[in-house]
Structure 1
Amino acid sequence: MRLVVLGGGESGVGTAILGKKKGYEVFVSDFGKIKENYKEVLNHNAIAWEEETHTESLILNADVVMKSPGIPDKSPIVKKLIENGIKVISEIEFAAPFTKAITIGITGSNGKTTTTMLTYHLLKSAGLNVGLGGNIGKSFAWQVADNDFDYYVLELSSFQLDGIINYKPHIAIITNISPDHLDRYDYKYENYIDSKFRITMNQTEEDYLIYDAEDEAIANWLTKNKTKATLIPFSLSPIFTEGAFIKDNKMEVKMMNHEEFSMETESIALEGKHNMKNAMAATSVAKLMQIRNATIRESLSNFQGVEHRLEKVLKIQNVQYINDSKATNVNASFFALDSMTTPTVWIVGGVDKGNDYNELMSLVHEKVKGIICLGVDNKKIIDAFGNVVDVMVEVDNMIDAVRMAQHMAEKGDTVLLSPACASFDLFENYEDRGRQFKQAVYNL
């Protein structure tokens, strides 16, 4: 069996290692450059590879192709593979049959990293033999090759879900859905929503789907479509006989297995309404897995949060600097602005993915005193907010952005990096953008 891996990054190299271990003839092809550390791993494992090209004769003879999530379906080589009837799948689909572990799959436009990390923290604190992977940390396939976990908590992007055929998580979470990555879905929101719901398409009556009952896109999909999974809702207001909700400043979770849990919301380490939802989703998993309430309470109260997600960096001259570089869409920036309690200087911009900034208008009116546009093309942001804020400037690097923000901010203000856009115009990725922001703040 010949396995061709498109993309020589974390998921590609992980898949190659697992494929080699399982007896496949493996070839890795990357249209860009492969990082040196990954080349070393491939060479050490005697796996053939190429970079900066796709040699068709070496690719179109594959029995199965694993496509890395960053490669769009529209790319010429992928189109050719599909025309030739060659199966193109994601890393998750390839790796899942090689492990007996139970998987918890988490997707959503926002909150999925925090929910994934918190779920992992809850299970790990309970002493379970659990791995963390998917769109985060070490490649799932690589871990399946090297480790023997009983459980995996997987963060799954829509791109990873697009490439599944038979994979199903035992417990699935959809945190929320808002327009994102529409450039990859023919600018059709319904295609993106369907993509997210692929997480439940193979689930059976023995599996669970945990979801935000207040999310319009999720609610609409569930009224028009069926899933066999047992539904477990969470929300800030309604009270369910089964599910999670907030009542009298307490988070309550009630399960059909008579498992119940409650905790004062102020004792939960994460702040903000959206994080209460993330905590409810993760706690629902813990209760399904019958983890002790005392363990859950302790884990929720000591969870440190996620780097680049509303991360408090420093307070300088009584101005709080916050790194929310992971906000790569409008909805994420909505949560960030919504949780601001002081006048805010907002650093925004990057690669626009079909953003509609109108939904931020009332929050910008109410909370934002100045905007710093950090991107190659800021036209849409300037058109949207040019008449809304007193001061608006454009910069093309992080050092200038932070210096300008310091200049605009007064005592008691907040400087918020929450770009609402992808980062690929000026940075390697959102982590690089967040680290540059933190470094620039440390250097003030």
Structure 2
Amino acid sequence: MTNLVVLGGGESGVGTAVLGKTQGFTVFLSDASKITDAYKSILLQYNIPFEEGGHTESKILAADLVMKSPGIPYTAPIIQKLQQQNTQIISEIEFVATRGDYQTIGITGSNGKTTTTLLTHHLLTTGGLTFGIGGNIGTSYALQVAQNPTMPYVLELSSFQLDGIDTYRPNIAVITNISPDHLDRYEYKYENYVASKFRITMNQGADDYLIYDADDVESCNWLNKNKTLAVLLPFSIKRKIDTGAYLTEDGKSIVVNVGNQAGEIVIGTRDISLEGKHNYKNAMAAVVIAKLRNVDDSLIRSGLKSFKGAEHRLEKVLNVSGVQYINDSKATNVNSVFYALDSMKTPTVWIVGGVDKGNDYSEIFDLVKEKVKAIVCLGANNAKIINAFGSVVKTSKIAEAGNMVDAVKLARGFAEEGEVVLLSPACASFDLFKSYEDRGRQFKDAVHKLQE
């Protein structure tokens, strides 16, 4: 009987442990930190042995196979020891892939992958198709497969999850875009991060599809230098695409044609619930998938109108005294902030900061100069942000906060009627918050308290 060790007692780890147990593996789960009561109850329900608050090396090193949760870096001492003895280390996604022929649509990218995943799932289900959703979003993919092994899934995939695949093969893969992110996990080498994203297509064949941004320099460079067997379906907001998707020259419509019997569909941009050109790209990718799956055009149109968007992604929270507060906590890199600032129509008070991941802020200097009237730095170490933007925004309009309540109060002091307060951090959240979700919810709570 194969000895499976799961490292990490979070969503992906517990889900993998359950799937392993139901498929006959001997399973042991180990977490260096505390495991929440909710996850413990699942482990106990399935009679899966576990430990928390540290690793018993002898048990871990005796594994035939190790599933590493995506948050654990390959530089962790226990991972290094496993690699030295050539123990196979995989991700949750790969573990599921080795357990059966599961049909998936895999979506990755530096920005937009959550919105594209949610919108794709919405269009498919609105179109009457049965699809689950998982990966880097929602309930563990492995746990869902354990409970419903016949359902196809739309998966949001991070670079960390893709690092742990060997055989995983999505029938449809999407790379929304690539920009510098998580460079601290890739030896500060951008090419390593780019290569990680393109692992999504490494096992695809001639019957599979790769949807990508034809305006994205790094994606195009990789495809010019490397080969994939998948059928390429690009999308663009800058030029006409014969097979794929594009934004018309007047900016009023997107046109999608995937070259199959489904035919061409033209959709007015005003009929898309999401705002901003970056969201037109997300919509293009999702509509391409819907057309590949032969969803009726009328149902695609109704799905685009009814979609509500992702929490923590340019989420309009509240208008207080004429000031609109927007939660973009999921913007954990500079490129994502670029899209957010680019969509702002009025003077903006920008709340920024957190754990820097090797950010280069120069690419947004012009946008900050044009759009931002004041900056509130929210992080344990704000020196890099202050140094970067001290010459772009008046120093009298740069403030620091050590918690979310103070950050929102400072932002309110800068903002005037008709303006915007935008939380778009450009950084990871782990200095002051548990996650970007925790950061976003604290922001929303603080904004609502302004009315009290």
Aligned AA for 2:401? V
Q: CA deviation at 1:409?
A: 0.4
In the TM superposition, 1:209-358 aligns within 5 A as 209-247=210-248, 248=250, 249-258=252-261, 259-358=263-362
Question: Secondary structure at 2:98's aligned position in 1?
Answer: helix
Q: Give, in whole Å, the separation in 1 of the partners of 2:170 and 2:315.
A: 30
Partner residue in 2 for 1:123: 124
Q: CA deviation at 1:100?
A: 3.6
Match of 1:419 among 425, 429, 440: 425
For 1:114 and 1:263, how far apart are their aligned partners in 2? 18
Rounded Cα–Cα distance in structure 2 between residues aligned with 1:179 and 1:267? 32
Report the Cα offset of residue 387 of structure 1.
2.1
Q: CA deviation at 1:149?
A: 4.4
Deviation at 1:3, TM superposition (A): 0.3
Q: Is the 8 A contact 1:129 1:149 kept in 2?
A: no
Query: Quick check: 238-247 or 143-152, which moved more?
Result: 143-152
Out of 147-156 and 17-26, give the one that drifted further: 147-156
- Asked if the contact 1:107–1:174 (Cα under 8 Å) also holds between the matched residues in 2, the reply is yes
Q: State the SS of the aligned residue for 1:29.
A: strand
Write the letter of the residue equivalent to 2:256. V
Cα-to-partner distance string for 1:419-444 (whole Å, 9 max, x where unaligned): 00000000000000000000000000
CA deviation after TM superposition for structure 1 residue 98, in Å: 3.0
Which residue number in structure 2 is paired with residue 435 of structure 1?
Answer: 441
How far apart, CA to CA, are the structure 1 residues paired with 2:121 and 2:223?
27
Task: Tell me, in whole angstroms, the C-alpha distance in 1 between the residues paired with 2:39 and 2:286.
Answer: 33
Q: Is the 8 A contact 1:7 1:28 kept in 2?
A: yes
Q: Partner of 1:393 in structure 2?
A: 399
* In structure 1, distance between residues paired with 2:102 and 2:390: 52
In the other structure, the counterpart of 1:82 is 83
* SS in structure 2 of the partner of residue 98 of structure 1: coil
> Secondary structure of 2:310's partner?
coil
Kept in 1: contact 2:98–2:167 (CA 8 A): no
Tell me how far 1:241 sits from its aligned partner. 1.6
SS in structure 2 at match of 1:180: coil
Displacement of 1:217 in angstroms is: 0.3
Amino acid at match of 1:357: Y
Instruction: Summarize deviations over 1:270-301 as a string: whole Å, max 9, x none.
Output: 00010000000000000111111001000001
1:127: how far off?
Answer: 1.6
Contact 2:4 2:20 in 1 (8 A): yes
Question: 2:287 corresponds to which letter in structure 1?
Answer: T
- Please say if residues 171 and 209 of structure 1, whose CA atoms lie closer than 8 Å, have aligned partners that are also in contact: yes
Point out where structure 1 has 5 or more consecutive residues left out of the alignment: none
Q: Give the aligned partner of residue 15 of structure 2.
A: 14
Offset at residue 97 of structure 1 (A): 3.2
For 1:286 and 1:161, how far apart are their aligned partners in 2? 24
Deviations 1:182-205 (Å, cap 9, x if unpaired)?
000000000000000000000000
- Equivalent-residue separation in structure 2 for 1:426 and 1:192 (angstroms): 26
Secondary structure of the corresponding residue to residue 350 of structure 2? strand
> Which deviations, in whole Å up to 9, do the C-alpha atoms of 1:372-409 show, x marking residues without a partner?
00000001100011121120001100000001111110
* Length-normalised TM-score, structure 1: 0.99
> SS at the partner of 2:82?
helix
Within 5 Å, which residues of 2 pair with 1:104-115?
Answer: 104-115=105-116
- Count of paired positions: 444
Is 1:159 aligned to residue 165 of structure 2? no
Retained in 2: the 8 A contact 1:13–1:38? yes
Looking at structure 1, the residues matched to 391 and 241 of structure 2 have their Cα atoms a distance apart, in angstroms, of 44
* Unaligned ranges ≥5, structure 2: none
Give distance in 2, aligned partners of 1:250 and 1:44.
Answer: 52
Partners of 1:388 and 1:162 in 2: CA distance: 38
Deviations 1:324-350 (Å, cap 9, x if unpaired)? 000001111110001000000000000
Give the letter aligned to residue 348 of structure 1. V
Identity of aligned residues (%): 63
Task: Name the CA distance, whole Å, in 1 between partners of 2:185 and 2:417.
Answer: 42
Q: Secondary structure at the match of 1:4?
A: strand
Q: Is the 8 A contact 1:318 1:411 kept in 2?
A: yes
Superposed CA RMSD: 0.8
- 1:150 offset after TM fit, Å? 3.1
8 A contact 2:328–2:424 mirrored in 1 = yes
C-alpha contact 2:355 2:429 (8 A) present in aligned 1: yes
The CA deviation at 1:99 is 4.2
